[in-house]
Structure 1
Amino acid sequence: MTKRWDYLHEKISHHLQFIYADVVTSTPIGELATELMNTIGLNQEDDIVIPEPHRNYWDEQDIVMITYGDSVINEHESPLFTLFRFLHTYCKNTVNKVHILPFFPFSSDDGFSVINYSSVNESLGTWSDVHRIAAEYGLMFDLVINHCSSRSMWFDNFIKGEGPGSDFFLTADPTADLTDVTRPRTSPLLRETETANGTQHVWCTFSHDQVDFDFRNPKVLITFIQIIKHYIDNGAKLFRLDAVAFLWKIIGTKCINLPQTHEVIRLMRTLIEHVDPSIIIITETNIPNRENLTYFGNANEAHAIYNFSLPPLLVNTMVTGDCTYLKSWMMSMPPAQNGTTYFNFIASHDGIGLRPAEGLLSDEEIGTLVQSMQNFGGRISWRSSEHGQQKPYEINITLFDAMQGTVKGPDKFQVDRFLCAHAMMLGMEGIPGLYIHSLLGTSNDYDKVANTGQNRSINRKRWDYSELESQLDSPYSQHHKVLTRLSQLIRIRKAQEAFHPNATQFTLQLGPSLFGYWRQSLNRRQSIFCISNVTDEEQSILLSDLNLIGTDNWIDLITRDQIEDVLGFVQLKPYQTVWLSNMDYEEYRKSQ
């Protein structure tokens, strides 16, 4: 038994002692630690990898595309092969990582109610299709860890009272006081289920088809470590821990963000990074900003956290023409220490979450934002508050249609406003994630909403590949314009050292109409001033306010215009962004 193995075994045992401190387990902690290590492939006779602390396994080249396995389909071939074809044809020089949303057999919630964690949904393709994508792109897998489908074999066995999974699910006494439990949905928390052991009331955080696991049972933890190992073996380089904030429940608490949940993430991090230190864990915690930040731990939990407050604040900025709240939030965000980073996004398969805006926007301001999005064809999903009130949970709308206009109504600046929003996000500290329907400038899909009855379907269009090709090949289509201009921005971003996810960032004070921040590369060779006009009127920047170093040569990376007078003005058109860099012009031309 090697010293490294002994050390790791002791560390894992420490995690387990914390997790199960108040739980009686049939397996001693030391034996459980050994089983978890063996399950993920850390054997006594093998050399144990020692991860380098605070190392960044990412840089300015990293761009993640978020997509369903069947967002693009083509007759007579598997959707996952069509997705590979799309990536190879249209994203080869822009995207290097791909988050394929759950591609496993499922019963509801477009994949997030998993029936079988170990196989690929036959309607999407096979593991060979997944491997083809993983060979060329860093692949993010969803670990749907809080719940599974009520149609899974495990839940069938729970009902029968025997077999694997029969003891995997959380039940509660319906007479217990559950009023403090945080709910992201309005459906009843408990599902009454007839089983061989009598009537059981199964905990369902999200829907009655999504039955919650009981992680107090170590068998559930062991099973998920088996799943993680299976995903790593099949090409996973990033893990998205779905709805992980709800993982551990204790009646009498809010049942969210509990210490045991954080410790389970730390345990998974310890196991995964000793198998492959370059694998990245991202926590999907759609919660208020201050709570979200805790999932970094001390650089020992998530490598990256979703920047959930960014979408509502950025959309609010664009429709009001006032960046005050976005700027205040950005100033309050702590720099991510090395070994951690933010995962920035402004559109996803779900919608624009509003809980992360709580405490940042007032109820009245959220109401105005909601009304504006409804005016642009958006739908609203609701949740129940602690006091039983109905509150808006998220806005369901494509980002392209969210940018139709302002609080004053639709206008002619939709494409420019949409691109401005992405330019603001692309320059920020963190790794950018772009939803496929943002790359394509997709509009609201009302037919799909009508067919499914689900608000979220509005932003989950399934493109026919030949139709999409026709649109992308037409210079007059919104889809061609958006993909072409977004791809240009991405390529520029990837060439700048100062856009490293952990490069220094400072917020600029330029008034409510101009949103600006300064980035400096880790080696301090490059500075970039990122400034966006968030209004529908022209704005001027007095360059002396930026204190540009007069001995440097300054250039706008986007327009390629050189700055001749560092004490002069730069005029910004409505929704124009400039990236002013001290890069030499000839050096810039070579980088392009």
Structure 2
Amino acid sequence: MAIKNQVQLITYPDSLGGDLKSLHKVLEEYFLGIFKGGIHILPPFPSSGDRGFAPLTYLEIEPGFGDWKDIRRIGEKHDILLDLMVNHISAKSAYFQDFLKYGRKSEYADLFIPVDKIWADGNPTPEEVEKIFLRRIEPFSSFIIEETGVTEKVWTTFGKVTPSEQIDLDINSQATRQLLADFLTNFSRNNVRIVRLDAIGYVIKKRGTTCFFVEPEIYQFLDWIGELATSLNIEILPEVHAHYLTQFKLAEQGHWIYDFILPYRILETLINKNSVRLKEYLKNRPAKQFTMLDCHDGVPVKPDLNDLYESEDARKVVDLCLERGGNLSLILSPKHRDADGFDVHQIRGTYYSLLDSNDDAYLAARAIQFFAPGIPQVYYVGLLAGENDQKGAEISGDGREINRQNFSLEEIEQGLKKDVVQRLLKLIRFRNEYAAFNGEFKVINSEHDEVRLEWKKDKKYCRLIINFQNYQSMIEYIDENGEEVTYLV
């Protein structure tokens, strides 16, 4: 199966209308023919937290969202993309609950990673733990086994509480590989065509290493799961937040990757009215990427852009985003901060609000995203030019909720009346339908306060020209009559 070179939508299962049936209705009534690239439905499975990212299983759909029939129905007209958290599963899952009851006697015991699987005596040295790329204060959690009273220390990369609610899986175990195969087989039966391998950078646990993106083992696992997915007519998309060179290694291996650099590059270009860094990046980046501006988390900074920014410049961008109502996710580990203390992991806020709710600046950002080689994804809040949900962030205590508001059908209808939304829909249609986007891409030399990007195929071409002084964007292209036409975005 080939991934379509057209625009995709990213949405939670309940964010556009309330559930999967409403999502289907919204796609049919309001966005018919808009998302020809597919629909990325953020985890619709039963989950114990993290808005779906602590799944209990992938064999069921959370009843409040609907069922697999609803997924299949959406999949009749759209390629469906779902997440598979290959690194971990919920502590509330039947698998881990059985382990909590019976310990090593559990039929699921081999799914997990007691510390003595890596260190025979169960005691890693402080130096070995220090070397591990941490997401928590320490990578382990202790649990008391009900039947025996024995304390088991198991690997838990993620989770905000101790003991963690997300338990790491042992991908070297035959039991885990069979479980992953069962999940992927179920996806295939239900019209799922693309699977994002979430947190895949953490799956290899190897003594004496960082336990993050361990080579060559990471490629061996990707080869295994890639072959399995191909046999099920599924494409895989590894998701790795790391130094950009790590991403580029995946691209060199032929994998799809995420362009986590582009959102910040575009943001700083529009804020500083200077396109020098953006143009340099667009000339040298891998082409086989999924692109985005916004998502359910935030605009990535560290570690994705390490060595690609000066912290003094980044602080100015961050401070302006804070003035515009955004908030920050910070790097917790001191050893991963910059020498001068800069520690911004992600800038959180709707992309529209981060651009000061300026319609022209927002459309310029989308135009650059759509012209950058790759598969463009549009997050549902960005689709409706949503603004920062300060109340949601305050009530929940989670800064990410600033960009996670749900829209009722009435609110969707109101959003569609906005001029900026109609202009965006027109731009999406152009990106979906113009043939030159399957041709050759070029960054045309231009002044530092503008950008010129071009696609050519046979006798067709389209050229994007943006003036960053006034954010005016126009596209020159050859229409079906062979005439050159100018389209003001």
Q: State how 1:95-494 maps to structure 2 within 5 Å.
A: 95-96=35-36, 97-160=38-101, 161=103, 162-172=105-115, 173=122, 175-176=124-125, 177-183=128-134, 185-195=135-145, 196=148, 198-207=150-159, 208-258=164-214, 259-276=216-233, 279-299=234-254, 302=255, 304-334=256-286, 336=287, 341-354=288-301, 355-385=303-333, 387=335, 389=337, 391-404=343-356, 414-472=358-416, 475=417, 480-494=418-432
Letter in 2 for 1:372: L
Q: In 2, are the aligned partners of 1:153 and 1:165 still within 8 Å (CA)?
A: no
Give the TM-score of the pair, scaled to structure 2.
Answer: 0.89
Inter-partner Cα distance in structure 2 for 1:194 and 1:382 = 32
Contact 2:352 2:358 survives alignment (8 Å) = yes
Task: Tell me the CA shift for residue 309 of structure 1.
Answer: 0.7
- Given that residues 3 and 235 in structure 2 are in contact (C-alpha distance below 8 angstroms), is that contact kept between their aligned partners in structure 1? no
Give the TM-score of the pair, scaled to structure 1. Answer: 0.74
- Cα distance in 1 between the residues matched to 2:366 and 2:196: 22
Q: CA deviation at 1:117?
A: 1.6
Taking only aligned residues, the RMSD between alpha carbons, in angstroms, comes to 2.2
Deviation for aligned residue 1:58: 4.0
| Residues 191/58 of structure 1: CA separation in 2 closer, same or farther (3 Å cut) | closer
Q: 1:587 to 1:350 in 2, by over 3 A?
A: same
CA distance in 2 between partners of 1:588 and 1:222 (Å): 56
**Are the counterparts in 2 of residues 370 and 395 from structure 1 also a CA contact under 8 Å?**
yes
- Paired with 1:275 and 1:124, the residues of 2 have a C-alpha distance of 25
SS in 1 for 2:436: helix
2:119 equivalent in structure 1:
none
Structure 1 residues 135 and 588: CA distance shift in structure 2, 3 A? farther
1:95 counterpart SS class? coil
Partner SS for 2:459: coil
After superposition, the Cα gap between the structure-2 partners of 1:588 and 1:153, relative to the gap in structure 1 and judged at 3 Å, is farther
8 Å Cα contact 1:107/1:114 also seen in 2 = yes
Q: CA–CA distance in 2 between the matches of 1:145 and 1:256? A: 14
1:463-502 deviation per Cα after TM superposition (whole angstroms, max 9, x unaligned): 1222332443xx4xxxx223211110111122212112xx
Letter in 2 for 1:266: D
Aligned to 2:328, the other structure's residue is in SS state strand
Q: Deviations over 1:80-130 (max 9, x none)?
A: 111111111121121121000010000111111001221000111111111
| CA-CA distance at 1:213 after TM superposition | 1.0
Contact 2:7 2:431 in 1 (8 A): no
State the distance in 2 between where 1:170 and 1:373 align: 41
Give the AA of the match of 1:57: A
What is the rounded CA distance, in whole Å, between the counterparts of 1:127 and 1:357 in structure 2?
A: 38
Partner of 1:92: helix, strand, or coil? coil
| 1:342 CA displacement | 1.3
Q: CA deviation at 1:59?
A: 4.7
Aligned-partner SS, 1:463: coil
Distance change in 2, residues 1:467/1:519 (3 Å): closer
Cα offset, 1:187, TM superposition: 4.2
Q: Between the two proteins, what is the percent identity of the paired residues?
A: 25
Corresponding residue number in structure 2 for 1:14:
none
- Partner SS for 1:124: coil
* 1:165 Cα offset (Å): 2.4
**Residue of 448, 470, 473 corresponding to 1:577:** 473
Structure with larger Rg: 1
Compute the displacement of 1:378 (Å): 1.0
Deviation at 1:382, TM superposition (A): 1.5
Checking the alignment, whether the CA contact within 8 Å between 1:159 and 1:166 is kept in structure 2 is no
Structure 1 residues 585 and 158: CA distance shift in structure 2, 3 A: same
Q: 1:533 deviation in Å?
A: 1.9
- 1:31 maps to none
- Contact 1:344–1:425 (8 Å) recurs in 2: yes
Alpha-carbon distance in structure 2 between the residues aligned to 1:106 and 1:58: 28
Equivalences for residues 490-509 of structure 1 within 5 A:
490-500=428-438, 503-509=439-445
Distance 1:386 1:255, change over 3 A: farther
Amino acid in structure 2 at the alignment position of 1:345:
M
CA 1:364–1:198 in structure 2 vs 1: closer, same or farther (change >3 Å)? Answer: farther
Q: 1:206 to 1:579 in 2, by over 3 A?
A: same
Q: 2:20 and 2:483 mapped to 1: Cα distance?
A: 39
Deviations 1:315-365 (A, max 9, x none): 11111111122112122224x4xxxx2111111111111121111112222
Alignment gaps of 5+ in structure 2: 116-121
- Output the CA distance in 1 between the equivalents of 2:171 and 2:208: 17
